[in-house]
Amino acid sequence: EVQLVESGGGLVQPGGSLRLSCAASGFTFSIWAMGWVRQAPGKGREWVSGINSGGSSTSYADSVKGRFTISRDNAKNSLYLQMNSLQPEDTAVYYCAKYFRAYDSGSNDPREYGTWGRGTQVTVSS
């Protein structure tokens, strides 16, 4: 059974930082591209960042580029998102997601990530 469990969300002031983690199980983590997708209240799902299976290639939405860093540790079956200089616009539920096809670099389309975690809430407010 594929399982993705996010953690690390919470309340932070503007300009602050958080690190999200995703614990993966039930599949060969090291051959799948992964990503982070978020959904703000009343809005659709927005792709945030992606990483290929080996961790050598990363990509980011323009809205978070330069502030967020995605990484993975295949030995620990874990995915991470370091978020710095957080803004109120970053407030959303953040989801860890598995790309739909193995041995692929992933994409910036949230519809191509076939498995999602339950999400973790990030709130940026003073």
pLDDT at 103 over 90: no
Decide the pairing of beta strands 10-12 and 78-83. Answer: unpaired
> Are the C-beta atoms of 22 and 118 separated by less than 8 Å?
no
> Are the C-beta atoms of 51 and 35 separated by less than 8 Å?
yes
Tokens of 86: 């957080």
User: Which has the closest alpha carbon to 106: 66, 79, 67?
Assistant: 79
Instruction: State pLDDT tens for residues 15-65.
Output: 999 999 999 999 999 999 999 999 999 999 999 999 999 999 999 999 999
